[in-house]
Amino acid sequence: MRRVRSEDGQAVLLTVIFLVVLLGAVAITLDVGVWYREQRQAQATADAAALAGAQALPGDTTQAGTLAAQYATSNGGGLNPDDVTFRSDFQPDDTVVVKVKRTAPSFFAQIFSISSVDVHATAAARAGTPEQVRGVSPIVVNKLQPQLSGPGCPCFHVETTLPLAKDGAPGAFGMVNLDPSSNNGVPDLGDWIRSGFDGYLPLGDYNSDPGAKFNSNLQDALSARLGTELLFPVYDTLTQVGSNAQYDVIGWVAFHLDCFGEPTGSTTCAPTHGNASSLTGYFTRVIWNGLQSSGNKHLPNFGVYSVSLVN
């Protein structure tokens, strides 16, 4: 009987020890889940803060740091000013790096004297010249345009005029077919002006559109875009003529459209007569929906940047 009572006491002791270990394991598991969730939230904040800061790059690191800090502060905090740094991947100060640090509280783990843990997250975002872009409008601009090629240019927010029908393939009126799967004259140029081409377009050769006419549909589309930015392909060479003419697109430029027709002043235009017309407005720097190249290809820079997370 004494042996039975002794074994019963050992069983109770082992059960108590097992329950303590089990409760401790459950406690640690629950707290680890909390810590992991906090780390994921910190990473999301770091990613978004880096993307926000990159909107001001390259060029304005002060504003980039301010934007990153503001975004992090409004989304959980954990970003100190000293934890925002910059590096030069493809061009000077084109990448912002942010480091977020937060303290995740413990609940059950406090029985093991673990009151909290620090979680860390790092993210980098780069503003770079895109290799491919979305939302292109079918009007080409020669790289020799004065506000693109003049001394110290590209020059932004300087009123200028883009003469359609005089700066492109004969009969094409500076219009380009952005869809290589369609025949010249088939695509609806008005839709591409209203909404931009629905897809990512790479640099390279694009056919002119000799069937383009500066008709009411095109004018209605331009009217809908007054006061907004359109993204135009920039070309360096125009080969062949007619339906075989091709523009070699080397980059992209954003144009703020003030008016179209015959220019009569700095921001005024007379109605269009016939197929000849002009666009009046100015080039501007923009962050656009685009895809950067994985390597530094030294692409021509006309003020169009895309922002993406990088390693």
Query: Tell me, what's the pLDDT at 172?
Result: 67
Over the stretch 144-180, which tens digit does the pLDDT of each residue have? 999 999 999 999 999 999 988 666 676 667 888 898 7
- Tokens coding 206: 């694009």
Confidence grade of residue 1 (pLDDT, cut at 50, 70, 90): very low
Confidence grade of residue 22 (pLDDT, cut at 50, 70, 90): low
Average pLDDT over residues 63-82: 92
Distance CA 150, CA 263 (A): 21
Angle at 86 between CA 82 and CA 91, to 5 degrees: 170
Confidence grade of residue 185 (pLDDT, cut at 50, 70, 90): very low
Instruction: Give 194's contacts (C-beta < 8 A, 6+ positions apart).
Output: 221, 224, 225
| pLDDT of 307 above 90 | yes
Torsion of CA 197, 201, 203, 205, to 10 degrees: -70
Give the single-character DSSP code of 311.
-
**Average pLDDT value for the chain:** 86
Instruction: Give 38's contacts (C-beta < 8 A, 6+ positions apart).
Output: 102, 104, 119
Confidence grade of residue 281 (pLDDT, cut at 50, 70, 90): very high
CB atoms inside a 10 Å sphere around CB 160: 17
Query: Tell me, what's the pLDDT at 263?
Result: 80
- Tokens coding 273: 């007569």
| pLDDT of 206 above 60 | yes
| pLDDT of 202 above 90 | yes
| pLDDT of 52 above 90 | yes
| pLDDT of 216 above 80 | yes
Contact 99, 68 (CB under 8 A): no
Upper half-sphere CA count for residue 93 (Cβ side, 13 Å): 14
